């Protein structure tokens, strides 16, 4: 039972560390994209962006932009974020799934 409690505490600490790193992210900071490939926006998973977010995001609707922005993480949190994108109980996993919906909507708009 104690081991399970420790795991939960570590998970909470991990999420807190990523949130703290994201708060530190400035507009001109080097970040990496951890979401799905979205060719229409020029977004490739694990691509690094120097000087902040790519300008292609400006074409998105406000709620789409809110989802996509959260998939850019500081390089110092990249390893942790890549792990969390694959864990179904983590917020980054849910954001990744929402980004897939954004990709679908963009592709549907082209047809």
pLDDT in tens, 41-68: 999 999 999 988 999 999 999 999 999 9
In this structure, is residue 10 part of a structural domain?
no
In this structure, is residue 11 part of a structural domain?
no
pLDDT of residue 40: 93
> 5 pLDDT exceeds 70?
no
In this structure, is residue 37 part of a structural domain?
yes
User: pTM to 2 decimals?
Assistant: 0.74
Provide the token pair at 95: 């954001």
User: Could you give the number of structural domains in the chain?
Assistant: 1
pLDDT digits (tens, 9 = 90+) for 75-102: 999 999 999 999 999 999 999 999 999 9
In this structure, is residue 83 part of a structural domain?
yes
Q: What's the rounded Cα separation, in Å, for the pair 69 and 58?
A: 11
Closest CA to 93 of 15, 12, 13, 10: 15
In this structure, is residue 90 part of a structural domain?
yes
Note down the domain range covering 87.
Answer: 21-110
Q: What's the rounded Cα separation, in Å, for the pair 66 and 55?
A: 14
Give the start-end residues of each E strand in the chain.
Answer: 31-33, 48-49, 72-74
In this structure, is residue 56 part of a structural domain?
yes
């Amino acid at each position: 039972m104690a081991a399970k409690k420790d795991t939960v505490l570590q998970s909470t600490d991990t999420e807190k560390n990523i949130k703290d790193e994201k708060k530190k992210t400035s507009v001109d900071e080097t970040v990496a994209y951890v979401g799905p490939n979205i060719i229409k926006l020029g977004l490739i998973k694990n691509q690094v962006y120097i000087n902040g977010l790519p300008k292609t995001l400006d074409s998105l609707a406000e709620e789409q932009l809110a989802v996509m922005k959260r998939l850019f993480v500081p390089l110092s949190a990249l390893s942790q974020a890549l792990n969390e994108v694959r864990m179904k109980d983590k917020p980054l996993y849910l954001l990744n799934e929402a980004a897939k919906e954004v990709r679908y909507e963009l592709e549907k708009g082209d047809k």
